[in-house]
Structure 1
Amino acid sequence: MDMVEVEGLRIAYERAGNGPPLVLVHGYVGDGPRTWRHQLDGLADDFTVVAWDAPGAGSSSDPPPDTGMGEYADYLARFIKNLGFDRPHVAGLSFGGSLALELCRRHPDIAASLTLTSAYAGWRGSLPSEVADQRLRQALALADLPPEELVDALLPTMFSESTPPEVVEAFGASLLAVHPVGFRAMARASDVDLREVLPGIEIPTLLVYGDHDVRAPLSVAEALHAAIAGSELIVLRGTGHLCNIEAPHRFNEALRAFLVGVPDRR
């Protein structure tokens, strides 16, 4: 893992390959390399692929407890600038997708394209209010419990039932390294409504979702697709929330084809 300092925080990241930069942003559980391993390995022949550990995850420092989505977007913008990237592609999964949307609002000149995977317009912007309430209550309660209980509660919701057990267990290991402070911060940051951002997205946008996703179901995907003009929606059949891990070859093929065509779409 490499390190860079951002606003006094140590930010860890893994980098692979050469070519146009692609920045990968993980969800509110796990870390960058274990969320995006197949993309770091599978796309490095065409792109400079970077997966960060968000503040409060993996090997990165914890942020202030009151860090919101706006502050996370500022951290991400500074991280990208510190790496010297000019107009990278940005791909976010789940919470990382919401963060990518906020990045586009607060720093509209940074991203060349946007890929939203199993993403929300914030929990409040994509889920019924009672579901958003339950998500936040659950996350704040789990942050105070042993990591094994967090794994037992959340891991089954991340994959489809057909996923090989070894794949599920490998990702589950990353959840055991949870940072309670960072987990609370990302959960609270997720509890926002970003729907007003969607009509203002003017860069090429790809949406990738699994049809067996119980956390961000296809109704969420369809709402974002309808609200982001010119966006493309790809559904990976037979996959759940972490569709990039369950179907890495199909995911990588879809992402590669989209990114190669970005200059034409612009």
Structure 2
Amino acid sequence: MATVQVNGVRVAYDRVGVGPPIVFLHGAAQDARVWRPQLDALADAFTVVAWDEPGTGRSSDVPESFVLADYARCAAAVLESLELGPVHLAGLSWGGTLALEVYRRHKDLVRSLVLVDTYAGWKGSLPPQEVRARVEGARRMLAAPRAAFDPTLPGLFAGEPPAAYVPLLEAVAADVRPESLRTQLSLVAETDQRDLLPAVSVPTLLLWGERDARSPLSVARQFQEAIPDAELVVVPGAGHVSNLERPEEFNQAVRDFCGAHS
């Protein structure tokens, strides 16, 4: 584990391997541990990094005033701390929205983008009624007693969670901080990055679960139409958390893309 300090916020991250750097940004209600299959599989050819964003894992609590630009500033500090030049920046779900914001504000740090089952913010990718329903669902979930709190949300997997990763998912869920999740969900709900997509000028991989119910393939098509020369790879039989549900196919797609653009 390594750490950086950004305006008094401690940000922790894991780093393994040697080679061109790939940095993974996790989704809401997650931390660096969800990228374990990628750290294990890709370290033979890449420097693989997975952070605990502020408010998760081993990082400091997220300040109440945090906005998307603050998360992007913290992520940029991690990228700079690697001292390896521009990175392949990958983000899942909320992490993909954040990866886009890092690109908007710190283009010199990004060699390519790997956008995984993500959104240009909920406001930028989903119908207004769906955004309202998700916001209301999040409010009910966060108002529930801690014993009833379910940070996984419905529809993360096409089927049952992969048995090999159930203990990991339970451990991650047990460590979710409700205030952090409230901030994450509020920001992703309010964000609309559609203006940014046509201006993306780095190689971009759209990596999507075939059966993603949270960010369906129609959202991937929106990205593909908006981002010049974006490449879409669909992971067969996978849902929203495609890196855990189909890790071999996911890792091969990342390996091929990042290898071709290193």
Band of TM-score, shorter chain: over 0.9
CA distance in 1, matches of 2:260, 2:81: 27
Partner of 1:195: 194
- Aligned partners of 1:6 and 1:79 also within 8 Å: no
Paired amino acid for 1:216: S
Partner of 1:10: 10
Q: Which sections of structure 1, spanning at least 5 residues, go unmatched? A: none
Q: How many residues align?
A: 261
Q: Does 1:236 align with 2:221?
A: no
Q: Please give the secondary structure, in 2, of the residue aligned with 1:143.
A: helix
Q: 1:140 to 1:75 in 2, by over 3 A?
A: farther
- Aligned partners of 2:87 and 2:110 also within 8 Å: yes
Paired amino acid for 1:167: Y
- Aligned partners of 2:4 and 2:77 also within 8 Å: no
CA distance in 2, matches of 1:25, 1:257: 19
Q: Which of 163, 182, 185 in structure 2 is aligned with 1:184?
A: 182
TM-superposed CA distance for 1:68, in Å, is: 1.8
TM-superposed CA distance for 1:85, in Å, is: 3.4
Partner of 2:127: 128
Paired amino acid for 2:179: V
Q: Please give the secondary structure, in 1, of the residue aligned with 2:252.
A: helix
CA distance in 2, matches of 1:221, 1:213: 10
TM-superposed CA distance for 1:166, in Å, is: 4.6
Instruction: Give % identity.
Output: 43
Q: Give the root-mean-square deviation of aligned CA atoms.
A: 1.7
CA distance in 2, matches of 1:169, 1:141: 26
CA distance in 2, matches of 1:134, 1:102: 25
- Aligned partners of 2:11 and 2:74 also within 8 Å: no
TM-superposed CA distance for 1:260, in Å, is: 0.9
Q: Which sections of structure 2, spanning at least 5 residues, go unmatched? A: none
- Aligned partners of 1:66 and 1:185 also within 8 Å: no
Partner of 1:247: 246
TM-score by length of 2: 0.94
Partner of 1:47: 46
Q: 1:89 to 1:178 in 2, by over 3 A?
A: same
Q: 1:141 to 1:75 in 2, by over 3 A?
A: farther
- Aligned partners of 1:3 and 1:10 also within 8 Å: yes
Q: Does 1:62 align with 2:22?
A: no
TM-superposed CA distance for 1:96, in Å, is: 0.4
Paired amino acid for 1:22: I
